[in-house]
Structure 1
Amino acid sequence: MTAVAATEVLVVVDPTVPGSAPVAEVARRSVIDGGRLVATVEQPSVTATVDVVVAALRHQDDAPLALVDAALVTVPTVYGDVIAEPDAGGRILRLDGGEVAALRVPAAARSDLADALSRTVATWPRERVLDVVATALDDLAGAGHEIGPGAFPARLALTPDDAASALAAADAVDEPALRLRRASRSDDGFLSTFLVRPLSRRLTRRAVALDARPAQVTAVALALGLLAALAYSGGGRGWLVLGSLLLLASLVVDCVDGEVARYTRTTSPLGGWLDVGADRVKEYAVYGALAAGAATRAAWLLALASLALLVTRHFVDFGFAARRARATAAVEDGAVGRWSAGTDRRSAVRYAKRAVIAPVGERTIVLAVLAPLVGVRWTFVVLLVMGVVAAAWTTAGRVGRALAWTAPLGQPARRLLQTQVDGSPVPRTWWPLATRFGWLLPALARALEQGGTVLLLAWLAPSALPGAFVWLAVVAIGEYDLTYRGRLTGTADAAGPLAVAGWPLRLVGVLVLALLVPTQALGRALAVAGAVLAVAVIASSAAFWRRSLPSSP
């Protein structure tokens, strides 16, 4: 994969708007966060201005091109939101008054936009140049994603006095603090928002000052999480307290990697995959360590049930997202979607809904607090109750939305869902994914494999449950790996060790092992098989990302 070239930037003086724009200062500020200033465009007429823009669009097509109104005065962060975001997608910056103040044209849309503007210039409407260009860009299959300045000051300055006032307002704000607050996720639960994020933002400020990379922060969070699991495996009250402290530290640091990536504009598919993979490894390791520390059959059954429920819940979400986002036409979510959007306008209701779905931050805090206080068994019971409620809520909402769908299943969605089902040796085309609720099949597959394995071994070889946990955790991580490759890169890559034997074969394989291998050795055999599979998953994923990572332009 070839790296995307830096965005080219044109600063455009709009001939339809009288005044004197601070061209030089806008040109300087516009590329502080990123991009390459190509030229300023200052022509006496609309026709001449559009001709220059069209020529720039046609000049090359391997880099995005940004147009910035020469009158736009704001902080470098806002220019960067248009110009420097690493996805290289289309952006349209619309101010509070409705004016388009800057936009970015994706490399792939440059030629088409040039053609559209060439056809329009002869009958140019009596509107600002960037407003018309933005309309044409948005007409190109939605190539322009609209954004606003948010909490940052931004306005069009058309006189020297306006420019001086606008520059003073922009320079007066604490840009790093606002940018840091914005780097925090806006969809966290109540506990994460008000307990974890205030701490993580302090660490993020320090990490940015030290030029830490998001992947480095992810590695620290993973190490803390694995140390927490090691402490939990001790089993005693003191070990549980130490494990909880380390786990909470891991949770705080885990928020930092994403904040650093968003603050420094270094988000990437690989970074997202590393973050998700590390989260799952930590969570599964903690579940297994708690059960190992308790050293009872009940604890292992509860840990396995918690693992199975969590994996099934997530694949309900993954299947729904694949079906909905990659439909062949716009998706209407019906009355359920409208009700959900309406209730989100009230912060108390929004946070209550997020608490019900038990996101990873809330789960982690509940586990860390309860484990030393009430013990392992009751901690798992509470997590299971939370998981059942969350699964019921989210599945009901998604089913309600699906009832309103009319768009047929497109091929990209079909391929993603086929990969998620992982149903070899059953032919991929045999799975009824095109039905209204076909997107639930990946979750059903996970439930059958995870639940079936646990029930078989609880009946035939209870002493093998620890080995079964290792096996099922590694299988789940392999499933997440394939799914997130598709979600983050848009490719339905079914290659990998799991594709050799899908969930039906794996479930039959466990049954055969349980019948043929002595009970005392079965747990070790499953653990060894899990370790071998883990190596194969890591090797397969590493090869995928080596192929997918951008090379130097």
Structure 2
Amino acid sequence: MTVAVIIATGTARGGPEPGPAAVLPGAPGDDPPTLLTRLCRRLTALNVPDRHIVTRPEHAPLLRKDGHDVIECADPAADLREIARLARLTRGPLLLLPGDLATGGELLARLVRDARTTVTAVTAADAGAGAAPVRRARGTVVSAGSAFHQVTGPDAAFPGVLRVGRPRFETLAETAERLAGLLEAPGALPEPAGEGEPDPLALLLVGLVRAGVPVTALDAGGLPCLRADDEPAAQAASAAVDGVDERAVRLKAAVKSNDGFFTTFAVSSWSPYLVRLAAWRGLSPNTVTCLSMGLAVIAAVWFAAGTRTGMVAGAALFYLSFVFDCVDGQLARYTRQFSVLGAWLDAVFDRAKEYTVFAGLAVGSTAAAAGSGVDGGDVWPLAVAALCLQTVRHMIDFSFGVRPARAAAAAPAGVPLGVAGDGAAARAETAPAAGRGGAVARLSAATSRVRALHWLKKMVVFPIGERFALISITAALFDARVTFVALLAWGAVGGAYTLTGRVLRTLPR
């Protein structure tokens, strides 16, 4: 179970007396809940009852009056040592948060229920007062800033929300203790920028990144994640959080943004309505997966009839089968119902649907009346060839997908914590000239920025959406022979393109 560590040490500005920013009112009214209370309520709703709230001794009375049990720490070094202590005691994962944070349940849920990444930092375009700058590359934080550390070319802000999984607990504890020692040693860290206490959460992120720990950057996107240090900012941040329809945001996020052309425009443009309906009816993603497979089987039966009506009906059913194939994944992401069985069924049924329809088309071509518009003759050799080609392509895709992760994907390490800069300029000057692999990657990125080329590249690889569309259209308008010839031609081009690109990408950079 996730354990939350809330650092409620920030001081509010603008009041008659300095007080904790965590107890700033989050909404106008006679007795509004504070930022910290709102945050704790959201954590409780996500089944995170184990919370450790760290604050200063002078802030403790107000936080206890607000209904919170607190741990008193005298300074940021003590905060870091407390984090290290909790990391070694907790079974985890750990969710580190600032007490002056305003955010909704959806973003917190993505962190709490994330089982794929070990260390994740929330990043946002605007994170309010107290946020630290970061720079990202390929979804990873590669440079992080603090009061002592600079970031070259920052592209986002870190509001202080960090999730650390159990495999990195010892690294987290060691980093926190090392930073605590540096804070207490005069001159061990660069001259700080600005006034006030350094943020221990920003320091932790700097320490982890510079230690070479891969930190996944979770983009807040349309979900507010804001820190506040005065009452107007707290109320504005809370109003921004309350004004977001989180269900709509979650539904939008459930639709993949990098799908193929046909999937994006002919399916995902309306499939969210089916996702809402399926969720309202209480259908599980596995049920939708089985429904998709069933529609493909019925489509194959219609194809096997060997009539124009059967070909048209089969084409329509096969298209609907693909729609539900997209809906099952979208429903899983929308309802957060993930399972190993579901992933296995989805992968197996994707292959089974195509091969079942291949058989139906071949049977129908044989059964069709001689000379009719659907008479393609004996197409079994073409059907077997299409099946073999697709099997080889899946084998190549799987083999490339399970290759070891490239070391370059990890955040660059080697810059000491006592150095203010992140070393980006020096690395750029001393970096060796990129080989063919790097040139291919740069060319691919450049062409992807041109919209027409982006979609052309998506289509030429012949993804599943285009394959289902090609089968449906050619079967409805022509005969099985045309379908299989088109599958083999486009499949061969897509396979050659994909294989060439992957071979070039593996060459020394």
Q: TM-score, normalised by structure 1?
A: 0.68
Provide closer, same or farther for how the CA distance between residues 259 and 110 of structure 1 changes in structure 2, counting only shifts above 3 A: same
Q: Which residue of the other structure, out of 380, 397, 401, is the alignment partner of 1:321? A: 401
User: For 1:198, what is the secondary structure of its paired residue?
Assistant: coil
Note the 1:71-110 alignment, pairs <5 A: 71-87=100-116, 89-96=118-125, 97-110=156-169
Contact 1:34 1:80 in 2 (8 A): no
Distance in 1 separating the partners of 2:406 and 2:158: 32
User: For 2:472, what is the secondary structure of its paired residue?
Assistant: helix
Deviation at 1:108, TM superposition (A): 1.5
2:94 counterpart residue number: 65
Confirm or deny that 1:210 pairs with 2:259.
no
Q: Deviations over 1:56-91 (max 9, x none)?
A: 111133x21110122221221112222222336321
User: For 1:98, what is the secondary structure of its paired residue?
Assistant: strand
Confirm or deny that 1:353 pairs with 2:457.
yes
Mean alpha-carbon deviation: is it higher for 247-256 or for 29-38?
Answer: 29-38
User: For 2:162, what is the secondary structure of its paired residue?
Assistant: strand
User: For 1:403, what is the secondary structure of its paired residue?
Assistant: coil
2:55 counterpart residue number: 42
Distance in 2 separating the partners of 1:14 and 1:359: 51
Distance in 1 separating the partners of 2:278 and 2:49: 27
Provide closer, same or farther for how the CA distance between residues 339 and 35 of structure 1 changes in structure 2, counting only shifts above 3 A: farther
Structure 1 letter corresponding to 2:21: S
Q: Which residue of the other structure, out of 7, 12, 17, is the alignment partner of 2:7? A: 12
Deviation at 1:271, TM superposition (A): 2.5
Provide closer, same or farther for how the CA distance between residues 312 and 184 of structure 1 changes in structure 2, counting only shifts above 3 A: same
Provide closer, same or farther for how the CA distance between residues 36 and 219 of structure 1 changes in structure 2, counting only shifts above 3 A: farther
1:306 counterpart residue number: 386
Contact 1:27 1:40 in 2 (8 A): no
Provide closer, same or farther for how the CA distance between residues 327 and 162 of structure 1 changes in structure 2, counting only shifts above 3 A: closer
User: For 2:167, what is the secondary structure of its paired residue?
Assistant: helix
Provide closer, same or farther for how the CA distance between residues 288 and 151 of structure 1 changes in structure 2, counting only shifts above 3 A: same
Q: TM-score, normalised by structure 2?
A: 0.73
2:495 counterpart residue number: 391
Deviation at 1:153, TM superposition (A): 2.3
RMSD between aligned residues: 2.3
Distance in 2 separating the partners of 1:16 and 1:105: 26
1:54 counterpart residue number: 84
Contact 1:26 1:72 in 2 (8 A): yes
Structure 2 letter corresponding to 1:13: A
Distance in 2 separating the partners of 1:95 and 1:85: 18
Contact 1:306 1:384 in 2 (8 A): yes
User: For 1:10, what is the secondary structure of its paired residue?
Assistant: strand
Contact 1:358 1:387 in 2 (8 A): yes
Deviation at 1:403, TM superposition (A): 2.2
Contact 1:105 1:137 in 2 (8 A): no
- Contiguous gaps of at least 5 residues in structure 1: 1-5, 406-553
- Contiguous gaps of at least 5 residues in structure 2: 14-19, 23-34, 57-73, 126-155, 184-188, 193-197, 367-375, 411-433
Deviation at 1:265, TM superposition (A): 2.7
1:546 counterpart residue number: none
Structure number with greater CO (CA < 8 Å, separation at least 6) is 2
Contact 2:118 2:167 in 1 (8 A): no
Distance in 1 separating the partners of 2:42 and 2:106: 9
Aligned length: 398
Confirm or deny that 1:28 pairs with 2:58.
no
Deviation at 1:380, TM superposition (A): 1.2
Deviation at 1:328, TM superposition (A): 7.1
Note the 1:116-515 alignment, pairs <5 A: 116-124=175-183, 126=192, 127-139=198-210, 141-295=212-366, 298-323=378-403, 325-326=404-405, 333-404=437-508
Structure 2 letter corresponding to 1:20: A
Contact 1:34 1:83 in 2 (8 A): no
Structure 2 letter corresponding to 1:338: R
